[in-house]
Amino acid sequence: MPARSRLTGPALAVALAAACGSTSRPPELGDTSGNPEASIGDDGGPSLIGDGGLLEKSCGVGPDGGVCACADEPLLGDPPTLYFMLDRSGSMNDSNKWITIQLTLEQLMIDLGPRAKVGAAVFPDPSQDACAPGVQIFAPARGDAPAGTAGPTDLALLERLGTIAADGGTPTAATLQVLAPSIEAIAGAKYVILATDGGPNCDASASCTSATCTYNIEDQPGCPPGGTPNCCDDPDYGGALSCLDANPTIAAVTALAQAGVPVYVVGVPGSAPYAELLDELAMAGGTARGSEPQYYAVDTSDQAALYGAMSKIAAKIAGNCTLTLNQAPPDPTLLNVYLDGSVLAQAGPNGWTLNGATVTILGTSCQEILEGDVLDVRVVAGCPTVTK
């Protein structure tokens, strides 16, 4: 199967569009930003009369000047909920990680559009002390704008996050325990995405040696890894609150997974000293990658790296090889499937089939979707089907 270019897009964007013009092989998916004549008509469908409004996405301009428009068509069924649990501890100020994670989450919501519901919690609670269990700051809500377009829900989340600063410790276990009942009560399929840049702590009942003291683990000045002194014996370093809270965190993740809520783990830069524990959390959450690291490790603090990890998770969650459209295409010979912006030939074991309003993607093409290697899946009507 030919290589495909990677484009930013919704986890499962299925488009059904009207035909106009081109009769040749459809070009790569793009948008009509360079074509002032293509816009949305009064009926919500494609229009070739420019009105200065929002432009439809399209397959591009054909050789005769026609446009194959690609208006997103919602799928039947209830979309999954992606529930983000975000570490806002003081170390998230380093390298602007807290700002980066906010912008990444906003972009992910825009790209998902109505194909998912998104909720968010932060820890510790910004209105309480530095070790207070986290709190939900955004109730799960479905995207209310077409994929690729910022809507009121996306802007509301970014505005809410913008009022919160990075500060405090990392009460991961307590946060998971406190929020578990409300997460489990969310209707439909739901998944927790835990993003953290360090090891869990903030357990006043904990005790530890220097091998499990976070200051020693991170080789802070005067706190050698596994050596003397044990900085967690010193109240000036937080005492017991700075001990690694490993077992309670593993237990809390295990409980969520057993309740039917898989937990994905994203290690933000700074978390590398805790890689072994993050691996255990991913395995306890039922989301281990199958190779080291088992969690989703982000090595750099730029937005592209963090978005790459989170978008792959979103694609795995929303990935589906059986796509049920709202209506059967009026002409099955004018239908194409695109994976990450490139057309997928219909024929062969890795192609696709159509049965009424149901498109089924086959073979390795399906496997790439299920593994999260393909983010953007679209069905587009209006151009002759590419068979091979």
Task: Parse the chain into domains and list their residue ranges.
Answer: 19-70, 81-203+245-318, 319-388
pLDDT 10s digits, 285-329: 999 999 999 999 999 888 999 999 999 999 889 778 988 887 888
The mean pLDDT value for 22-33 works out to 49
Q: In which band, very low, low, confident or very high, does the pLDDT at 42 lie, cut at 50, 70 and 90? A: very low
Question: Whole-angstrom Cα distance, residue 297 to residue 307?
Answer: 12
Q: Is the pLDDT of residue 37 over 60?
A: no
Structure tokens belonging to residue 127: 């209105």
pLDDT at 323: 83
Q: In which band, very low, low, confident or very high, does the pLDDT at 77 lie, cut at 50, 70 and 90? A: low
pLDDT 10s digits, 328-368: 888 888 888 888 778 899 999 999 999 998 999 999 999 99
Q: Which among 11, 192, 16, 8 is positioned nearest to 115, based on CA atoms?
A: 11
pLDDT at 264: 98
If one compares 37 and 228, the residue with the highest pLDDT of the two is: 228
pLDDT at 207: 95
pTM of this structure: 0.78
Q: Is the pLDDT of residue 8 over 60?
A: no
Q: In which band, very low, low, confident or very high, does the pLDDT at 146 lie, cut at 50, 70 and 90? A: low
**DSSP string spanning 101-135?**
HHHHHHHHHHHHGGG-EEEEEEES-TTS-TTPPPE
Q: Tell me which fold the domain 81-203+245-318 belongs to.
A: Rossmann fold (3.40.50)
